[in-house]
Amino acid sequence: MENSTVHEISNNSDRQILQFTTEPSAFFDPTWQLALTFEFYFQYAIIAIGVFGTAANAFVLYALVAYHVQETKKRAINLLMINQNLLDLSSCVFLIISFCVKVRNYYLTGTLGYFLCTIFISESSAYCSLHGSIINLTPAEPR
């Protein structure tokens, strides 16, 4: 039997009755394999987008800081743009770290495993910086 699986029929005290079936298990289902393949490649695509976003935001941040340092009359608008770009840059960096940890598929145990799971695998660090970026874009109330 090529794709035979074992199903437990009953459990009478110490005796188990097992039945062999020829139905394919979920692991060998081609639909699930296709979905897992797409998920795998989408994770690498997200990492590539994060790398491109990090490079673009780092370049823009460098240009804004260089312009702000050279300008004799400092304006608050430049500082707000630098702050926004820094939040976007940190969001991209956390996105890269989160998906690299997910793709690597570490076995997480102990305190370090709990930290990695709550901060990076749940993507809470990327979401926090993304929400901070959105909040930074909201206008202040007029006085």
Residues with Cβ within 8 Å of 95's Cβ and at least 6 positions away in sequence, in order, are 46, 49, 50, 53, 123, 126
**Tokens representing 113?**
């495993």
pLDDT tens string 65-124: 888 777 766 677 778 888 899 999 999 999 999 898 888 877 888 888 888 888 888 889
- Map out the domains of the chain as residue ranges: 29-137
Assessment of whether the complete model's pTM goes beyond 0.85: no
